[in-house]
């Protein structure tokens, strides 16, 4: 299966005893504005058009095109369905999971002053609003019998260490509950209750929740109804949680004389906040043509991370034995820097008929960085360097492209759009196509819009990595359906 990236939180390029992975930074750098239903209906292609608050989120000069003060808010859902299959089982049975949480996608108010009868600077607009930038709500489940066991991973981690040197999150737990134990010849070499490559029944449920949002302050200025300038300062807030429950059992194969069951739970909670700025220009050479460009600075997000694990292990040796051990609470504070973003767009307007608009955004994912700024640990500093070197080596730049159209039929608006999200792993990786549609009703100062977006994705996931050939691989594919409704009022 070709691997493509849309929601890449679960993709593992490697594994370490640290909580952070190079791919985690994509969680904060990949965004899709699920704002106004109008913009969603045309594929979020309105950066050169203006007149819409979500379009202003892409190009802040767009707020200068709002001539009347207005208030609007939008709500909706992102329905995500996943299908996961554990490989190397001989059956390739997939399991489906779905979530569809309700959310507030945007809310804003714009105060606008405009006078077309004066020369020079004809208008100024100020706006404050909330935009949802990313949705993290998803879950998947797999089940099957394949060669290998997670206890091999625990033994790999422990090898070369004395029992009192083991960490309290994985190998230390495994030692305490008896899932691994030292060799009688060398107490720094660890054994398990399994033969290498033994078929084991395993399953895992992975749930993630949360969102990335921004509180934005926008200022736009209008010169001669031809040149729009805009600036936005944005406070970004992050809320993310992930729960994993991995299980192994001998109940299905009944082939291991000692092992009975294993349950390994991981709980991750992340909160963060940051800031970025955007600058934009829109130029109208004539009534029909609009050209726009904007730039967004990197977002520097300070992150507080909490992580806990628990291991439940049961086996039969001198009778039935069952032990449970809990890790301490792990806390880590660090910063991430997301990429620069450069945006360019164009629109053609046919008076009283509608418009066609297009947008291209360049994102340099290779410029993303981790910063473990609050540590004096040499191991942490070394790992920071390893993460950033992985980003430089494996990440690339990408283009997000979109095209949309709106047709006016008196008070009715019909919209179509679509686009492509480029992969952060370069041209050899497969990006994501999205398809958009919408409808709106605009009557005087009141408007109501409905928009939707459909996309599919496929990913690779590894629950753990081992030094042998018996690691586990899971193929995940699915689809996202975003539905958003916006209600707004214009006033003097």
Evaluate whether 309 touches 254 at the Cβ level (below 8 Å). Answer: no
Evaluate whether 266 touches 309 at the Cβ level (below 8 Å). Answer: yes
Rounded to an integer, the average pLDDT of 450-476 is: 93
Q: What is the pLDDT of residue 33?
A: 65
Q: What is the pLDDT of residue 474?
A: 96
- Which stretch of DSSP H or E encloses residue 107? strand 102-114
pLDDT band at 12 (very low <50, low <70, confident <90, very high): very low
Strand partners, 201: 145, 249
Please write the tens of the pLDDT for every residue from 301-360.
Answer: 999 999 999 999 999 998 999 999 999 999 999 999 999 999 999 999 998 899 999 999
Q: What is the pLDDT of residue 120?
A: 87
* Cβ atoms < 10 Å from Cβ of 392: 13
Report whether pLDDT(34) > 80. no
Phi, psi values for residue 45, rounded to 5°? -110, 20
* Cβ atoms < 10 Å from Cβ of 18: 15
- With 0-12 CB in 10 A as exposed, 13-18 as middle and 19+ as buried, what is 213? buried
Lowest-confidence range among 10-24, 70-84, 237-251? 10-24
Q: Which residue has the higher pLDDT, 115 or 464?
A: 464
Closest CA to 452 of 57, 76, 189, 67: 76
State the CATH number of the domain containing residue 294. 2.40.160.60
Lowest-confidence range among 33-47, 93-107, 130-144? 33-47
Three-class HEC string of 309-361: EEEEEEEECCCEEEEEEECCCEEEEEEEECCCEEEEEEEEEECCCEEEEEEEE
Report whether pLDDT(6) > 50. no
Q: What is the pLDDT of residue 10?
A: 33
What residues make up the domain containing 208? 22-148+194-459+469-491
DSSP 116-127: TTSSSEEEEEEE
In-domain check, residue 248: yes
Q: Which residue has the higher pLDDT, 77 or 13?
A: 77
Q: Which residues contact 350 (CB under 8 A, 6 or more apart)?
A: 288
CA angle 119, 124, 127 (to 5 degrees): 165
Q: What is the pLDDT of residue 66?
A: 86
pLDDT band at 19 (very low <50, low <70, confident <90, very high): low
Among 36-40, 44-48, 153-157, the range with the most confident prediction by mean pLDDT is 153-157
Q: What is the pLDDT of residue 126?
A: 94
102/104 Cα distance (integer angstroms): 7
In-domain check, residue 159: no
Three-class secondary structure of residue 148 per DSSP: coil
421/30 Cα distance (integer angstroms): 9
Structure tokens at 317: 């040796």
pLDDT band at 407 (very low <50, low <70, confident <90, very high): very high
In-domain check, residue 160: no
Rounded to an integer, the average pLDDT of 12-40 is: 72
Average pLDDT for the chain: 90
Please write the tens of the pLDDT for every residue from 411-461.
Answer: 999 999 999 999 998 877 788 999 999 999 998 889 999 999 999 999 899
Rounded to an integer, the average pLDDT of 201-206 is: 97
In-domain check, residue 265: yes
In-domain check, residue 154: no
Please write the tens of the pLDDT for every residue from 178-190.
Answer: 999 999 999 999 9
- With 0-12 CB in 10 A as exposed, 13-18 as middle and 19+ as buried, what is 326? middle
What's the pTM?
Answer: 0.89
In-domain check, residue 174: no
Share of the chain above pLDDT 70, in %: 95
Report whether pLDDT(109) > 80. yes
Q: What's the total number of domains in the chain?
A: 1
In-domain check, residue 243: yes
281/397 Cα distance (integer angstroms): 23
In-domain check, residue 2: no
Compute CA distances 180 → 319, 353, 382, whole Å. Answer: 18, 71, 28
Evaluate whether 406 touches 348 at the Cβ level (below 8 Å). Answer: no
């Amino acid at each position: 299966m070709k691997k493509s990236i849309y929601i890449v939180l679960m993709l593992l390029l490697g594994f370490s005893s640290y909580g952070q992975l190079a791919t985690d930074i994509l969680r904060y750098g990949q965004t899709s504005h699920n704002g106004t239903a109008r913009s969603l209906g045309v594929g979020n292609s309105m950066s050169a058009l203006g007149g819409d608050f979500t379009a202003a989120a892409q190009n802040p000069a767009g707020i200068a095109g709002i001539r009347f003060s207005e208030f609007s808010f939008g709500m909706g859902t992102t329905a995500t369905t996943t299908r996961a299959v554990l490989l190397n089982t001989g059956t390739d049975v997939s399991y489906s999971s779905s979530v569809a949480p309700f959310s507030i996608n945007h809310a804003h108010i714009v105060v606008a002053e405009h006078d077309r009868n004066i020369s020079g600077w004809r208008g100024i607009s100020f706006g404050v609003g909330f935009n949802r930038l990313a949705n993290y709500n998803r879950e998947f489940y797999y089940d099957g019998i394949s060669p290998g066991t997670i206890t091999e991973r625990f033994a790999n981690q422990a090898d070369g260490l004395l029992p009192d040197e083991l960490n309290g999150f994985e190998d230390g737990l495994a030692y305490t509950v008896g899932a691994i134990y030292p060799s009688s010849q060398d107490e720094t070499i660890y054994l398990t209750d399994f033969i290498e490559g033994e078929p084991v029944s395993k399953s895992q449920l992975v749930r993630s929740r949360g969102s990335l949002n921004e509180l934005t302050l926008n200022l736009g200025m209008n010169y001669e109804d031809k040149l729009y300038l805009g600036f936005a300062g944005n406070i970004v807030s992050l809320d993310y949680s992930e729960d994993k429950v991995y299980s192994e059992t001998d109940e299905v194969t009944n082939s291991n004389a000692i092992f009975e069951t294993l349950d390994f739970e991981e709980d991750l909670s992340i909160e963060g906040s940051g800031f970025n700025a955007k600058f934009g220009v829109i130029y109208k050479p004539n009534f029909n043509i609009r050209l726009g460009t904007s730039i967004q600075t990197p977002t520097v997000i300070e992150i507080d991370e909490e992580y806990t694990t628990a291991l439940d292990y049961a086996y039969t040796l001198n009778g039935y034995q069952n032990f449970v051990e809990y890790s301490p609470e792990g806390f880590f504070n660090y910063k991430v820097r997301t990429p620069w973003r450069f945006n360019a767009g164009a629109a053609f307007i046919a008076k009283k008929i509608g418009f066609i608009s297009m947008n291209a955004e360049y994102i340099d994912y290779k410029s993303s960085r981790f910063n473990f700024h609050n540590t004096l640990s040499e191991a942490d500093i070394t790992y920071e360097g390893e993460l950033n070197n992985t980003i430089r080596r494996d990440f690339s730049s990408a283009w997000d492209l979109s095209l949309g159209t709106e047709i006016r039929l008196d008070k009715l608006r019909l919209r179509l759009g679509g686009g492509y999200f480029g992969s952060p792993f370069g041209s050899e990786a497969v990006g994501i196509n999205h398809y958009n549609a919408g409808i709106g009703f605009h009557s005087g100062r009141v408007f109501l819009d409905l928009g939707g977006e459909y996309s599919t994705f496929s990913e690779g996931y590894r629950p753990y990595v081992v030094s042998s050939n018996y690691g586990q691989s899971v193929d995940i594919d699915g689809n996202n359906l975003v539905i958003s409704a916006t209600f707004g009022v214009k006033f003097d």
